[in-house]
Chains A and B, each alone.
Chain A
């Protein structure tokens, strides 16, 4: 197995409250890993550990061993900006910048010093092609991104992440605000993108996890209850708590 993340004995606290309890996990490169579990189970907290988004919360403390591509991602001298470039993120609600479609994609590369117009054009086109949005927006690149539909906005956000040439794309409920057709487009896209990137997705939609992911992690009350191949987890879960949750007998 080609591991991109190795997490060992991860504990995370918000003040006095322990939100993640002693979790070990290996995330495979070029696979889709889905996190499922009831609200408040720690899955969103856990995905944010992967690109150190929790650093932004003052009372949040974390311990354990987090290796990204063999390096301690929480080491004092580890470049967080570099980590967040390599580990991009897409959120539940599409959040395009209030600027043109082109500028949304070019924003990141520009911040990193890419000034050459031809080079930017190439990055924008390639990112929009990879996010399956190019054909829909190629003639309206100067229009505001806010005018796109919700599904298009979400694919734009994925394109914006891709423009940074990440290794990993984290997605926190990326389709929960979208209609079924837009959801299907994102799901198809995820399956295509795993050829190039490692994808970790938090989803409340269990059928979605079953459809698109290779591995699934089931969280409950800050613990990792079961983690393994998606096909196995949904057909023959090993833990009765997983069985109860995925068959709707949880409560």
Chain B
């Protein structure tokens, strides 16, 4: 039997989470495009979109608190709403990171799209998929999907370290200050990608908690 009130409230929260996810995904896509094309207008739009993501976080946060006050949820209902509350923070942080990356892109505008940029973009594409998969797995309560995302984080970490080594090598031989600045920005952006993947991993861990009640260490 359904609990009509609780199910309707949760469905509303899921819909809002879906909208927030769409905003976050658009931010990541635009961030990648801004990086590829050195498109500063697009980068600014990503920074503006961060405000919408923050507003969405506050709205869903409020809905979660209202849900708890109204329904005094227990068991899976409680785990679900507690997880949404945690996931919100991860999504909001992802929004912040896309905005921060776009700020870093400004320093790259004088420099042509390089091999390192290409690797950063490949990393970003992978991370985008991870974030999308993590939220989809949450909505579908897909444990396997969650574990896949968690496992993939190691691949991202390795890719980041390879990229980092490459940038450090390039820095060693670089004497031009502008070039050094650009390489440092690229290193920062690569690190941000690794952080994005960590947030996707966090989201996936909350899926495991929601479904099984167990904390992934």
A residues near B, CB below 8 A? Answer: 206-207, 210, 234-237, 242-244, 246-251
Within 8 Å by CB of B75, from A207, A236, A251, lies A236
Closest 7 CB pairs of A and B: A236-B213, A251-B1, A248-B3, A234-B74, A249-B3, A246-B74, A249-B1
Chain B residues whose CB sits within 8 angstroms of the CB of A250 once the complex forms: 1
The answer to the question of B78 belonging to the interface, with a C-beta cut-off of 8 Å to chain A, is: yes
A181 to B77, CA, bound (A): 27
Q: Contact: A244 with B74, CB < 8 Å?
A: no
Chain A residues whose CB sits within 8 angstroms of the CB of B1 once the complex forms: 244, 249-251
**Which residues 48-80 of B have a CB within 8 angstroms of A?**
72-79
Chain A residues whose CB sits within 8 angstroms of the CB of B212 once the complex forms: 236
A226 to chain B minimum Cβ distance, whole angstroms, is 11
A191 to B214, CA, bound (A): 29
Within 8 Å by CB of A210, from B2, B74, B76, B213, lies B74
A251 to B3, CA, bound (A): 10
A251 to B1, CA, bound (A): 6
A-B contact pairs, 21 of them (CB 8 A): A207-B72, A234-B78, A235-B74, A235-B75, A235-B78, A235-B213, A236-B75, A236-B79, A236-B213, A242-B75, A246-B75, A247-B3, A247-B6, A247-B73, A247-B74, A247-B75, A247-B76, A247-B77, A248-B6, A249-B2, A251-B1
Chain A residues whose CB sits within 8 angstroms of the CB of B79 once the complex forms: 235-236
Chain B residues whose CB sits within 8 angstroms of the CB of A247 once the complex forms: 3, 6, 73-77
A217 to chain B minimum Cβ distance, whole angstroms, is 16
- Beyond the given A236-B79, A248-B3, A249-B1, could you list 19 further A-B residue pairs with CB under 8 A, ordered by the A residue number? A234-B75, A234-B78, A235-B75, A235-B78, A235-B79, A236-B75, A236-B213, A237-B75, A242-B75, A246-B75, A247-B3, A247-B74, A247-B75, A247-B77, A248-B6, A249-B2, A249-B3, A250-B1, A251-B1
Residues of B in contact (CB 8 Å), total 14
Contact flags B78-120 to A (C-beta < 8 A → 1, else 0): 1100000000000000000000000000000000000000000
**Which residues 1-37 of B have a CB within 8 angstroms of A?**
1-3, 6
A180 to B75, CA, bound (A): 24
Tell me the nearest residue of chain B to A207, going by C-beta: B72
Chain B residues whose CB sits within 8 angstroms of the CB of A234 once the complex forms: 74-75, 78
Chain B residues whose CB sits within 8 angstroms of the CB of A242 once the complex forms: 75
A237 to chain B minimum Cβ distance, whole angstroms, is 5
A247 to B213, CA, bound (A): 15
Tell me the nearest residue of chain B to A246, going by C-beta: B74
A249 to chain B minimum Cβ distance, whole angstroms, is 5
B87 to chain A minimum Cβ distance, whole angstroms, is 18
A206 to B74, CA, bound (A): 10
A242 to B212, CA, bound (A): 15
A34 to chain B minimum Cβ distance, whole angstroms, is 13
A60 to B38, CA, bound (A): 84
A248 to B72, CA, bound (A): 11
A235 to B210, CA, bound (A): 10
A234 to B79, CA, bound (A): 10
Tell me the nearest residue of chain A to B3, going by C-beta: A248
A174 to B116, CA, bound (A): 71
Chain A residues whose CB sits within 8 angstroms of the CB of B78 once the complex forms: 234-235
A249 to B1, CA, bound (A): 5
A68 to B77, CA, bound (A): 38
Chain A residues whose CB sits within 8 angstroms of the CB of B6 once the complex forms: 247-248
A205 to chain B minimum Cβ distance, whole angstroms, is 11
A234 to B213, CA, bound (A): 11
B11 to chain A minimum Cβ distance, whole angstroms, is 14
Chain A residues whose CB sits within 8 angstroms of the CB of B2 once the complex forms: 249
Tell me the nearest residue of chain A to B212, going by C-beta: A236
A63 to B74, CA, bound (A): 35
Chain B residues whose CB sits within 8 angstroms of the CB of A206 once the complex forms: 74
A244 to B212, CA, bound (A): 15
Tell me the nearest residue of chain B to A232, going by C-beta: B213
Tell me the nearest residue of chain B to A238, going by C-beta: B213
Interface centre among B3, B73, B75, B78 (most CB of A within 10 A): B75
**Which residues 149-192 of B have a CB within 8 angstroms of A?**
none
Q: Contact: B76 with A243, CB < 8 Å?
A: yes
Tell me the nearest residue of chain A to B213, going by C-beta: A236
